Amino acid sequence: MSTGSATTTSRTRTFRLPDLGEGLTEAGLVQWLVAVGDTIATDQPIAEVETAKSIVELPSPFAGVVTALHGTAGDTIDVGAPVLDVAEQGTAGHQGETQHPGEERADENNTDAGNVRPAASVEHETYRSEERAGSGNVLIGYGTSERASSGRRRAPRAAAARGQSLRPRLEHETEPTESKVSGPVAVRSPLVRRLARDLGLDVHAIVPTGADGAVTRADVLAAAVDSAVDGIGKDTSREARVTSETPDGRGGDDALDGLAVSSRERLSPLRKAVSGRLSRSRSEIPEATVWVDVDATDLWNLRADMAPAGGTAPSITAILARFVLLALAEHPVLASRLSDDGSELISFDGVNLGVAVDTDRGLLVPVLPRAHTLSVDELDSALREVSSTAREGRMPPERLRGSTFTLNNYGGLGVDGSAAIINHPEVAILGIGRIIERPWVVDGQVVPRRIAQLSLVFDHRVCDGGYAASFLRRVTELIEHPLRAFGRV
C-alpha cells in the first residue's frame, strides 16, 4: 500500500433552483437559513421557499463555503435561476493514490464504459425513469440519493456522479447532447403532455432534447420560461397600449382606462397555482349545482351532549364530514374521477377527503387519506391538525394532493352559500353555509330553527341531477335526524 501527495484546490459552484415538482416554474424566497461565509454540508437546508403548495426548506446539493446569496426575502426565483454560490474544496495532482481491492478508478474525465458511464448519460437515464414514474425532482436528499446498483462496487467519484444525477446543472457544465431524428414530435409521457397543456404550450413548437427527439419535462418548463421572457416589453396587451393620453390628462405611462395605476404586484406561486387549477376546472368540467336548506337544530343541540367528561365536543365540520362520508358510501360516483381522456370512470374503495382551509396565503385543501375509516372524534382531531398546519404554512406538498372529494365549510367566513368550483381532478364538491336562526315552519307553526344551506357542485359528465339530488337528500336526512347516523334509533 502506498500513499502520495495531493494539492488542495477549490472551485465555486452555483446552485440553481431545481424543479420542485407539480409543474412549478418558480418559488418565492421566504428567508435565508445561511449567510455568506458559512460552511455548509450536503443536504443542509439553506433557505425557506414558498411554492404553490407550502413553505419548504431548500437543501444544498453540495458542501462548501457560501460565497454569494442570490436574492433577498420576498424575491421570486425562477426554476434554473441561481440561488447561491459555494466554494467547494477538493484535491488534485494525486500521486501514487491507493486503490482498494474491488474498487474501480473513476476520474472525472474517464468515460470508459468498462468503468463508469458518463454523468450526462446517467442523468438522462435517471430523469427518464423519474418521468415514467410521474415524479418531479425530489427536494430533500436530491444531492445524495442513491439508485439501485448492479451489484458492482463503484469508486467514490462514480458514486458521487450517480448520486448527483438529480441535481441542477452547474455553472461550468454544459447541456447534455443527444441524438435527434427527423419526424413528428414524440411526447412519450402523458404527464409531460398534460404539463404543456396546463401551461398553454404547443408541444410541436417546443425544441426537444430527449432521446429520439422526445420532448421532456425540462423542455416544457424551459419553453414556459422563454415564453414569459419573450412577452416582457412587447406592447401587445391592452394594458401596454394605454399611454398618457387619458381623458382627464392625469394618466401617465402607467395608467389604465383613465386611472393611474397605484401598484402592480406579481401573483404569488400559490395564487398562480390556484388560478391554473380553477381555470382548468372551469374549462374542462361541465358542472351543475343543486342546493337545499336544511334544519340543523337537532344536530346543533346534540353536539353539546357529545362532549366527553371534561373534554371538548367535536366540531360541526367533523360531524358533517362523517355524514358526508356515509352518504358517499351510498353514492360512490361523486368520489370518483374521470380518466384524462374522459373515456373511463375511475372508482375508488373509499374516500380521500379534501377539506378547504382559509389561510393568510390563500385557500389550501389538505387531504385526510382514507377518511371513510375515521370516527367523528378521529375526524375532529385530524381536522384540527391539518387546519393548524395549513395556517402556519407548514403543510407538506404530499398532504395537499390525492383527494377524491372536497368539503368546504365556508359558513365560518360568514356567508350562507357559494357556487364553488370543483377541485380538479375531482368530480364534486360540497359547500356548507353558516348555521343561523331563521323562521321555519314546523307542524304548521312558524318557529325559529337553526338553518344551513348545502350546495353540491358536480361534474354532469359522471352523473345526472337525480343522482346528485339523492346524495344531497341523504346528507340532509342525516343532519336533520343525527341520531340515525349513530345507530341510536
CATH of the domain at 61: 2.40.50.100
Question: What pLDDT is attached to residue 88?
Answer: 80
User: Do 158 and 212 fall into the same domain?
Assistant: no
What average pLDDT does this structure show over 304-329? 91
Question: What pLDDT is attached to residue 24?
Answer: 65
User: Do 155 and 201 fall into the same domain?
Assistant: no
φ and ψ of 443, to 5 deg: 55, 40
Is 272 part of a structural domain of the chain?
no
User: Do 318 and 216 fall into the same domain?
Assistant: no
Confidence of residue 371 (pLDDT cuts 50, 70, 90): very high
Is 278 part of a structural domain of the chain?
no
| Residue numbers of the domain that contains 453 | 285-485
Q: How does pLDDT run across 1-24, given as a tens digit for each residue? A: 444 444 455 688 899 888 765 556
Q: Is 482 a residue whose pLDDT tops 70?
A: yes
DSSP string of 237-263, one letter each residue? SHHHH--S--TTS---SSEETTEE---
User: Do 320 and 455 fall into the same domain?
Assistant: yes
Q: 209-218, 234-243, 386-395, 432-441: which has the minimum mean pLDDT?
A: 234-243
Question: What pLDDT is attached to residue 225?
Answer: 65
Question: What pLDDT is attached to residue 253?
Answer: 61
Q: 209-213, 245-249, 360-364: which has the minimum mean pLDDT?
A: 245-249
Q: Is 215 a residue whose pLDDT tops 80?
A: yes
Is 131 part of a structural domain of the chain?
yes
> What is the chain's mean pLDDT, rounded?
74
User: Do 213 and 303 fall into the same domain?
Assistant: no
Confidence of residue 478 (pLDDT cuts 50, 70, 90): very high
Q: Is 178 a residue whose pLDDT tops 60?
A: no
What the block records as the C-alpha cell of 312 is 371538548
Q: 126-130, 333-337, 351-355: which has the minimum mean pLDDT?
A: 126-130
Question: What pLDDT is attached to residue 93?
Answer: 42
Residue 355's domain is classified under what CATH number?
A: 3.30.559.10
User: Do 309 and 409 fall into the same domain?
Assistant: yes
Question: What pLDDT is attached to residue 392?
Answer: 87
Q: Residues with Cβ < 8 Å from 64, sequence gap 6 or more?
A: 10, 13, 39, 40, 86, 87, 88, 89
pTM for the complete prediction?
A: 0.52
Q: What's the total number of domains in the chain?
A: 3
DSSP string of 335-403, one letter each residue? G-EE-TTS--EE--SS--EEE-EEETTEEE--EETTGGG--HHHHHHHHHHHHHHHHTT---GGGGS--
Look at residues 163, 182, 215 and tell me which one is the last residue of a structural domain.
Answer: 163
The Cα-based distances of 163 to 18, 47, 142, 145, 308 in angstroms read 15, 22, 8, 5, 53
Q: What percent of the chain has pLDDT over 90?
A: 34
Residues acting as catalytic residues: 460
User: Do 213 and 295 fall into the same domain?
Assistant: no
The Cα-based distances of 146 to 26, 77, 122, 149 in angstroms read 26, 28, 12, 8
Q: Is 160 a residue whose pLDDT tops 80?
A: no
User: Do 78 and 195 fall into the same domain?
Assistant: no
Is 178 part of a structural domain of the chain?
no
User: Do 204 and 122 fall into the same domain?
Assistant: no
User: Do 468 and 334 fall into the same domain?
Assistant: yes
Is 177 part of a structural domain of the chain?
no
Question: What pLDDT is attached to residue 221?
Answer: 74
Q: Is 290 a residue whose pLDDT tops 60?
A: yes
User: Do 223 and 112 fall into the same domain?
Assistant: no
What the block records as the C-alpha cell of 131 is 418521468
Dist CA 187 CA 214 (whole Å)? 6
Of residues 271 and 420, more confidently modeled: 420
What average pLDDT does this structure show over 472-481? 96
User: Do 72 and 144 fall into the same domain?
Assistant: yes
Q: Is 177 a residue whose pLDDT tops 60?
A: no
Q: Is 315 a residue whose pLDDT tops 60?
A: yes
Is 273 part of a structural domain of the chain?
no
Confidence of residue 350 (pLDDT cuts 50, 70, 90): very high
Contact between residue 334 and residue 463 where contact means Cβ atoms under 8 Å apart: yes
Helix (H) or strand (E) holding 57: strand 55-59
Is 180 part of a structural domain of the chain?
no
Q: Residues with Cβ < 8 Å from 26, sequence gap 6 or more?
A: 17, 76, 77, 78, 79, 269
Sign of the Cα torsion 474, 354, 459, 450 reads: positive
Of residues 436 and 253, more confidently modeled: 436
Q: Is 334 a residue whose pLDDT tops 80?
A: yes
Residue 208's domain is classified under what CATH number?
A: 4.10.320.10
Question: What pLDDT is attached to residue 187?
Answer: 66
Is 280 part of a structural domain of the chain?
no
Question: What pLDDT is attached to residue 143?
Answer: 35
